[in-house]
Structure 1
Amino acid sequence: MARSKMIYQNTIIQLCRELPPGYGGVERVAHELATHLLTRYHRNIISYSFNPAHCEDPFTVDYSREVLPCILIGQLLLPRPSSKYFTILLSPCPLIIHLPCPTILLLAVFAKIIRPNRKILVYWHAFLESKGMGGLFLYFYQMLALVSINLFDIIVTTSPALADSLRIHVKNHRKVQILPCCIHESQEHSLSIKLTFRSTLSHPILSDPSLLKLIAIGRLESYKRIDWLLSIVEKCNQVLKPRGNEIHLDIIGEGRSKSLLQNIVSSSPFLEGSVYFHGRVSEDIKQELLFDSDMLVLMAGSCNEAFGIVQLEAMALGIPSVSLYNSKSGSYWVSNTSSQNWNGSRSSMHDFLLNVARDKTKLSILKTEASSRYRKHFSRTVWNRNFENIFNAFVES
């Protein structure tokens, strides 16, 4: 009995829809939490995931990972009978859940009802938007989630924008804490070396003054709105090309919208030869393409894209990042700097990019500001400090 109690006291359970570390932002955050809890507090971490896509994750991790049996209906996960669910529900161990996910939300609610004194931390990654019948389901899920989170002890989210939106629904505002996403320490070190090397290069070698090289990274799905970005680049090149200037765009990623986007490019003389599709690439190639770029563009059209970790990768490399403004998303806040002088609206992005393409001095300032903002707000040193401020009480209680 004493040994069992000791095991419970040294174990933290985590619930995440997909298998971490995976390739999406939520899974990467879940991986960093599990890894840091293990190394910093020497806790036994058990990370449960549904892994509905049955992905074979090539990464090795130091914490335990368990797959929960389920039936996938559309995007809805229905649990299949398993003793693992009873372990999650009945255990007194502290519980960390990653939302959005209706099934995980319900498991956490039942766990809190069964053990009211159990510590449960919610990591709220994003608000959701959708249309049609799916949108109606998401609306009711989100309303349930916003009511239910009052049951839990700590609510962590990634930006001031999301925190402000959550505090409208949370009775005790002190429960809501901000922990922005981060990149792994080894990756930060690698990017820092590249940034140092980049700073030693002379400007003529570093950048062709007639080109503004943009890069977009992510799944080629409709909500990423790469089609909007192509339209803006096309309009910019209509102005720039007759004057001997040009915007180039590198696109990294795969998805259902790829063929549609390729057709848009091939049908426009102001895009063909200026836009390059690289597909899914290795981490090394992605960093090389980032290194060769002038600016990252995150063009999400909804609050589903709440925080782009790729923005941090770019900023750590001294590459400015721009994102559309959304009151329930933190992406604009992540990368916005004073010299951008841009309100984040889609309608004004055309003028913003034209100004940067014409003025490489401004681009140089933006690069300096991006690097400085990363160090001040998102570096691992800052993240570690913020992490401990939130998790010390959660872990030690």
Structure 2
Amino acid sequence: MKILHLGKYYDPAVGGIETFLRNLVPEQIRLGNDVRVLVHNEKKGRKSFLEKKDEVSVYRCRCFGQLVYAPVSPEYPYFLTNVLKEFKPDVLHIHLPNISPYWLLCSRTARKIPWIVHWHSDVVPSAIDKRVSFAYTFYQILEKRLLDHASYIIPTSKRYLKASQPLLKYRDKCRIVPLGLKIKDAEQVPSKDISSIWSKNGKYFRILCIGRLTYYKGYEILIDAISTLKQVNVDVKIIGDGDKKKELEKKIVSSNVTDSVTLCGKINDKELERALVGCDCLCLPSVERTEAFGVVLLEAMAMSKPVIASDIEGSGVGWVVQHKKTGLLVEPRNAYALAETITNLSTDRQLQKELGKNGFHRVKSCFTVEKIASEIQQVYKGIPLKQQRD
């Protein structure tokens, strides 16, 4: 089967969808599919091109920046037309949210090919960034047309689907498949090769955060929580970059936690793995349903690390993390509850080991990319024959 994935970005770009695609596509190739990826070039203004990334053919379309978190790419419809003509895919696998694939609605060629919509997140009206709500007024018209045409829609959890207003009338098209990743063999994971970002000694409880510095990640809440800690010494490293960087830098200074919280910026995959090896806990303090799943939770659990995450109403995070079994859930936007949870976990080594062990087994049983790719393959096979390309 010839599959064309349409996403925002691809490796080495960082993000939950990007991590998932980087894991999924090679596994789909291993299953005998011919798979290619069409995304935007993360480097602003760089010309469109086709490259071979490991064993994956990746079309990167020129992008001129972002408008309300959406890539702006005037060349996309032209590039898309050429890719469809050259590759002749049997299935278009569309990863939303992303405005560029709406050009498919204008393509007679594309409309003859079955569409699978991977629903990674609603476009959540935000109390923090009101531009999102305004933009969605126009966005949702095209979103509805795309969903009308889709053969199937893949939400990533039952919990998210239940709370999703845009998917309410499309429940019969939905096939729930969680996200997944490649689990490394024990001998592939370094046990002592700890990242240099952990410069402090073992007397500090090492908390790692991974994700874009953007409005829904809740890093302000984490900083507030750290500023209230008195009984435990922590070393918090936040890996990622984004539009909130300067604001967070000021927040760290004004909260008097410069000795405890560090923004590390972007780092490469190898260094990220070493950072995970060296941490005592991963924290995901997100505050809105835009955090629909939390792939980074799987990355930490796959390394037997305990996790602390916000139990966001209507998000899949509270399903990925089983409270007091594979991790600890806290009320979103509650800095005091987060501080108390950090304190309790940091002083209980047995609990850390138990949560880490259970988390690893949960990832291995529910979230391996081999299992997820197989389930997605079954979704493809369910496309009615009359919709399949001749």
Q: Classify the TM-score, shorter chain.
A: 0.7 to 0.9
Contact 1:93 1:119 in 2 (8 A): yes
Superimposed CA distance per residue, residues 150-180 of structure 1 (whole angstroms, 9 cap, x where no aligned partner): 3210111222222223487354534212222
Letter in 2 for 1:150: D
On the 8 A contact 1:337/1:370 being kept in 2, the answer is no
C-alpha distance 83-359 of structure 1, shift in aligned 2 (>3 A): closer
Normalized per residue, the structure richer in helix is 1
- CA distance in structure 1 between the partners assigned to 2:90 and 2:374 by the alignment: 24
Q: 1:321-355: CA deviations, max 9, x gaps?
A: 22212234323322233445645433232332222
Instruction: Give the match for residue 4 of structure 1.
Output: none
1:40/1:167 CA distance change after superposition, 3 Å: farther
1:321 paired to 2:307:
yes
What is the aligned counterpart of 2:20 among 14, 25, 29? 29
Q: 1:128 aligns with which of 109, 123, 143?
A: 123
Using the alignment, how far apart are the partners of 1:395 and 1:48 within structure 2?
Answer: 25
Structure 1 counterpart SS, 2:72 = strand
Q: CA deviation at 1:149?
A: 0.9
- Structure 1 123/249 Cα, relative in aligned 2: closer, same or farther at 3 Å? same
Following TM superposition, by how much is the alpha carbon of 1:11 offset from its aligned partner in structure 2, in angstroms? 3.1
- 1:282–1:138 distance in 2 versus 1, CA, 3 Å: same
Q: What amino acid is aligned across from residue 106 of structure 2 in structure 1?
A: F
**Residues 1-397 of structure 1: matches in 2 within 5 Å?**
11-20=2-11, 22-43=13-34, 45-51=35-41, 53-54=43-44, 60-68=53-61, 74=67, 75=70, 77=72, 79-80=74-75, 83-87=78-82, 93-104=90-101, 106-111=102-107, 118-129=113-124, 130=126, 131-142=129-140, 144-146=142-144, 148-166=146-164, 169-171=167-169, 173-183=171-181, 185=182, 188-189=183-184, 193-194=188-189, 208=202, 211-235=204-228, 237-238=229-230, 240=231, 245-269=232-256, 271-339=257-325, 340=327, 342-347=329-334, 348-394=337-383
Shift of 1:78: 5.2
SS of residue in 2 equivalent to 1:318: coil
CA distance in 2 between counterparts of 1:249 and 1:168 reads: 37
Quick one: which amino acid aligns to residue 100 of structure 1? P
The answer to whether the Cα contact below 8 Å between 2:97 and 2:119 also exists between their aligned partners in 1 is yes
**130-139 or 148-157: bigger deviation:** 130-139
Residue equivalent to 2:197:
none
Contact 1:121 1:152 in 2 (8 A): yes
Q: Is the 8 A contact 2:321 2:329 kept in 1?
A: no
Stretches of 4+ aligned residues off by more than 6 angstroms:
55-59
Q: CA deviation at 1:279?
A: 2.7
Distance 2:222 2:323 in 1: 21
How far residue 233 of structure 1 moved from its aligned partner, in angstroms, is 1.3
Cα RMSD of the aligned pairs, angstroms, is: 3.5
Instruction: Find the counterpart in structure 1 of residue 198 from structure 2.
Output: none
How many corresponding residue pairs?
365
Name structure 2 gaps, 5 residues minimum: 193-200
> Cα gap change, 1:346/1:365 in structure 2, threshold over 3 Å: closer, same or farther?
farther
- Distance in 2 (CA, whole Å) between partners of 1:114 and 1:285 is 43
Distance 1:330 1:352, change over 3 A: same
2:7 and 2:162 map into 1 onto residues whose CA distance is 24
Question: 1:334 is aligned with what amino acid?
Answer: V
User: Which structure has the larger Rg over C-alpha atoms?
Assistant: 1
Distance 1:363 1:36, change over 3 A: closer
Find the aligned partners of 1:30 and 1:322 in 2 and give their Cα distance: 25
CA contact (8 A) 2:207 2:235 kept: yes
The change in CA–CA distance for 1:136 and 1:189 in structure 2 (over 3 A counts) is: same
| 1:264-309 C-alpha deviation (Å, 9 max, x unpaired) | 334445x232223333223222222211212111122222222322
Q: AA paired with 1:125?
A: H
Mapped to 2, the partners of 1:280 and 1:70 lie a distance apart of 20
Q: Find the residue that maps to 2:293 and give its secondary structure.
A: coil
TM superposition score normalised by structure 1: 0.78
Structure 1 residue 215 displacement after superposition? 1.0
Normalising by structure 2, report the TM-score.
0.79
CA distance in 2, matches of 1:373, 1:301: 24
The amino acid across from 1:335 in the alignment is: V
Distance 1:221 1:92 in 2: 35
